[in-house]
Structure 1
Amino acid sequence: MSPGEPPFSAPPPWRIVHFDAIDSTSDEARRRALAGDPGRLWIVAGEQSAGRGRRGRTWISPKGNLYASALLMEPCPPAIAAQLGFVAGVAIARAAEDIGAEARLKWPNDLVSRGVKCAGLLVEGVSLPRNRLACIVGLGVNCESAPSGAGYPTARLKDGSGRPADRGSLFQRLAIRFDETLAQWEAGAAFETIRALWLERSGALGEPIRIENARGRREGTFGGLDPDGRLLFRGKSGIEVVDAADLWILPASDGSPVAATSASRAREGRT
């Protein structure tokens, strides 16, 4: 389908291409990267027919929600490209704050509201000729609807008045905040700044969590992030640095909702 006129705006030099419907905003970003697009491009769609989640899982993408992918050309050394997940997390959290939403971050790449997932993201790399790397940051935000049957609680992101977040207003704030947060990151030279901003918005710092990886399923508390963004898991044997795991935020003692989504560092999320 040919792109329509984008209803949104982004700070220069960013460009926007808008589709009423598409297979996947990140797939379109990949196609454009391979075709020689210079980057600093947002792909936005009204709905997707082949959205992806973690580990290739289907991401249901009905009309009314926000689906967007940012294409960046050689934004940093390849070894630290996963940090873009934290950059994008801080940016979407800031954008949510700008519209008055009550939302926090869940390691490493989910936005949660009152403990329940309302947005996810996925960072992917594309190898290009001459050893160049393109990075695609895809985001999906539940605005008008939240998927059911996902295996974990989901919710719509609501603005400060309690109404569902307007996807156009949210995207405009996201475009500005992503540009700002990228600049703060300094291509990875200032990841400590991003790490601190992420932790300020953490929805589980010091809270009980469950993780599951090759070592099995264990419960403990969320101890923060190490300097590389890895999970600091405080269990029975003390602090453990976890690079990848499925993670669940456990119910608080007061019975408040949980975010039972799974995660595996910054390369997993959605597009």
Structure 2
Amino acid sequence: MDDTRRAVLDAVADGPVSGPALAARLGVSRAAVWKHVEALRESGFAIESDGDGYRLVETPDYGGPAIEFGLDAPFDVEYHDSLPSTNARARDLAAEGETDVVVLADEQTGGRGRLDRTWRSPPGGIWLSILCRPDLPPAHAPVLTLAAAVAVAETAREHGVDAGIKWPNDVLVGGEKLAGILTEMEGEADRVAWVVVGIGINVDPKGLPDGATGLCAHTEEIDRRTFVQHLLERFDDLRTDPEKALAAWREHALTLGRRVRVETGGGTVVGTACAVEFPGTLVVETGDGPVRVHAGDCEHLRPV
């Protein structure tokens, strides 16, 4: 949403405001005001007009303009009813030089998780990818994955869902997977060119595979618009403060203190997860001493 249209929307939300007054305030023609109002109506905003002027009476339930309206974070939102992959679309936008864009879809037809696993993304879920260009060296980029996991877990908890985080980025409720995060990046040795943080959150639990759950299995109702807004605001707050993100991750961690098996590129590590170090390294205490794992597939084990 461009700045003028956003200003028109803010004005009619505080309305009523007349067309001439709004045109004078924004320095545009009355015809331009009318075109912006019509475009907002086409986006689902119910805007009435009478002798007192324009006023906003209802906002759309979901979509890009709906999420941008009232969003306290510097993201533009590109919405699609359906996409093969929000991460793929975000990578295309990165190649075009874009930044601080959220690609949001009602469904994904080719969603993928870690290790190229299929991620079922039916209509009605929350499927989004955040494109940004952080001032970080590539070695520190994993902290953004942790920040995204914290943003999901804290937003879920705010909505009454008792979510926690399994290292590094799976959000669980009662041992079942609620959300997954897939981070991709491009950069050079000393700096990140761009990062895409893909987030998939199940909403409706019906039809999900064993071991998965949805938000609506744990709370009566979810307003997806509000949920996404709060998630993006939390992520925006954490992405510029890595130490805060790591501290919050530890607060919501389900893995620390647990016996784990971690499959890595170099083999299997089994022991007790005792710490997470910056930028997201898991420290596992094994019979041969502590082992630091930078990436891997973690499984929680039952106590011996």
**TMscore range, shorter length:** 0.7 to 0.9
Report if aligned partners of 1:230, 1:243 keep a CA contact under 8 Å in 2: yes
1:33 maps to 94
Residue among 292, 295, 301 paired with 1:241? 292
Shift of 1:252: 6.0
Report if aligned partners of 1:118, 1:146 keep a CA contact under 8 Å in 2: no
Unmatched runs of 5 consecutive residues or more in structure 2 = 1-42, 44-62
Count residues with an aligned counterpart.
Answer: 239
Q: What CA RMSD, in Å, does the superposition of the two structures yield over aligned residues?
A: 2.5
Question: Would the alpha carbon gap of residues 32 and 194 (structure 1) be closer, same or farther in structure 2, given more than 3 Å must change?
Answer: same
Q: C-alpha offsets along residues 6-61 of structure 1, whole Å, 9 cap, x if unaligned?
A: 33233242111111111111111111111222x11111100011111112222111
Sequence identity percentage: 33
Report if aligned partners of 2:181, 2:199 keep a CA contact under 8 Å in 1: yes
Give the partner amino acid of 2:141: A
Residue among 63, 67, 72 paired with 1:8? 67
Give yes or no for the alignment of 1:201 onto 2:245.
Answer: no
Give the whole-Å Cα distance in 2 for the aligned partners of 1:174 and 1:5. 15
Give the partner amino acid of 1:182: R
Unmatched runs of 5 consecutive residues or more in structure 1 = 186-190, 254-271
1:117 maps to 177
2:127 maps to 67
Residue among 211, 235, 250 paired with 1:153? 211
Give yes or no for the alignment of 1:138 onto 2:202.
Answer: no
Give yes or no for the alignment of 1:229 onto 2:280.
Answer: yes
Q: C-alpha offsets along residues 190-225 of structure 1, whole Å, 9 cap, x if unaligned?
A: x33322111010012212222223554453222121
Give the whole-Å Cα distance in 2 for the aligned partners of 1:109 and 1:93. 10
Q: C-alpha offsets along residues 227-254 of structure 1, whole Å, 9 cap, x if unaligned?
A: 332111122223211122221112469x
Question: Would the alpha carbon gap of residues 216 and 182 (structure 1) be closer, same or farther in structure 2, given more than 3 Å must change?
Answer: closer
Report if aligned partners of 1:115, 1:203 keep a CA contact under 8 Å in 2: no
| Secondary structure in 2 matching 1:47 | strand
2:79 maps to 18
Q: Flag as ranges the 4+ runs of structure 1 deviating above 4 A.
A: 146-149
Report if aligned partners of 2:271, 2:287 keep a CA contact under 8 Å in 1: yes
Give yes or no for the alignment of 1:50 onto 2:110.
Answer: yes
**Greater share of residues in helix:** 2
**Larger deviation, residues 218-227 vs 109-118:** 218-227
| Secondary structure in 2 matching 1:20 | strand
**Larger deviation, residues 135-144 vs 94-103:** 94-103
1:266 maps to none
Report if aligned partners of 2:183, 2:198 keep a CA contact under 8 Å in 1: yes
Shift of 1:104: 0.4
Give yes or no for the alignment of 1:170 onto 2:227.
Answer: yes
**TM norm structure 2:** 0.71
Shift of 1:164: 5.5
Give the whole-Å Cα distance in 1 for the aligned partners of 2:294 and 2:64. 41
Give the partner amino acid of 2:252: R
Question: Would the alpha carbon gap of residues 132 and 206 (structure 1) be closer, same or farther in structure 2, given more than 3 Å must change?
Answer: closer
Question: Would the alpha carbon gap of residues 112 and 33 (structure 1) be closer, same or farther in structure 2, given more than 3 Å must change?
Answer: same
Give the whole-Å Cα distance in 1 for the aligned partners of 2:167 and 2:198. 16
Question: Would the alpha carbon gap of residues 143 and 227 (structure 1) be closer, same or farther in structure 2, given more than 3 Å must change?
Answer: same
Report if aligned partners of 2:143, 2:278 keep a CA contact under 8 Å in 1: no
Question: Would the alpha carbon gap of residues 230 and 5 (structure 1) be closer, same or farther in structure 2, given more than 3 Å must change?
Answer: closer
**TM norm structure 1:** 0.79
Structure with bigger RCO (C-alpha 8 Å, 6+ apart): 1
2:16 maps to none
